């Protein structure tokens, strides 16, 4: 039997997004979501996920929105300490330190696990995990955590 996954990104972005994902799950539309670990409503999303174990939840790795979890990742941020914008990352992926990227994305996965959840898979905000320069980090994280990666595109 083939299992079809209907995944909703940006779980944790806001309470409104979280409730939209929850309602879509309860109505049989969404059976999977990927959670942002640096968003303002992440704690709310964690509570929803723990209360609704039929919703498969993975990690939505972030590199192009908000602030990183780590403070020592200068190649990932702008002057104000926010992640670089999507066009900057796509336009110049070589400016991103793969060591810093691996540490930041590992911190995001570890935070999820430390909150008592085990991710089902991972992908990324704005599909930056599909940037070829980042594949070594994606492959390493997939192997290290034993997680499948959702195909981008």
Dist CA 112 CA 129 (whole Å): 18
For the cut 70, the answer to whether the pLDDT of residue 153 exceeds it is: no
Domains and their CATH numbers in the chain: 7-145 (3.20.20.370)
Question: pLDDT tens for residues 13-54?
Answer: 999 999 999 999 999 999 999 999 999 999 999 999 999 999
For the cut 80, the answer to whether the pLDDT of residue 152 exceeds it is: no
Question: pLDDT tens for residues 84-136?
Answer: 999 999 999 999 999 999 999 999 999 999 999 999 999 999 999 999 999 99
The whole-number pLDDT of residue 30 equals: 96
Instruction: Give percent of the chain with pLDDT exceeding 90.
Output: 94
For the cut 90, the answer to whether the pLDDT of residue 5 exceeds it is: no
Give the predicted TM-score (pTM) of the model. Answer: 0.95
Dist CA 97 CA 1 (whole Å): 42
Angle at which helices 15-26 and 42-51 cross, to 10°: 20
């Amino acid at each position: 039997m083939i299992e079809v996954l209907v995944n909703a990104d940006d779980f944790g972005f806001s309470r409104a997004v979280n409730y939209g994902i929850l309602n879509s799950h309860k109505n049989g539309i969404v059976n999977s979501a990927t959670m942002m670990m640096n968003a303002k409503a992440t704690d709310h999303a964690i509570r929803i996920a723990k209360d609704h174990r039929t919703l498969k939840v993975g990690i939505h790795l972030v590199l192009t929105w908000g602030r990183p979890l780590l403070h020592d990742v200068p190649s990932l941020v702008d002057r104000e300490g926010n992640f670089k914008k999507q066009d900057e990352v796509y336009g110049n992926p070589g400016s991103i330190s793969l060591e810093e990227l691996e540490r930041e994305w590992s911190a995001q996965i570890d935070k999820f696990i430390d909150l008592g959840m085990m991710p089902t898979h991972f992908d990324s905000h704005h599909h930056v995990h599909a940037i070829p320069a980042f594949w070594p980090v994606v492959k390493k994280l997939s192997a290290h955590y034993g997680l499948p990666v959702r195909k981008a595109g």
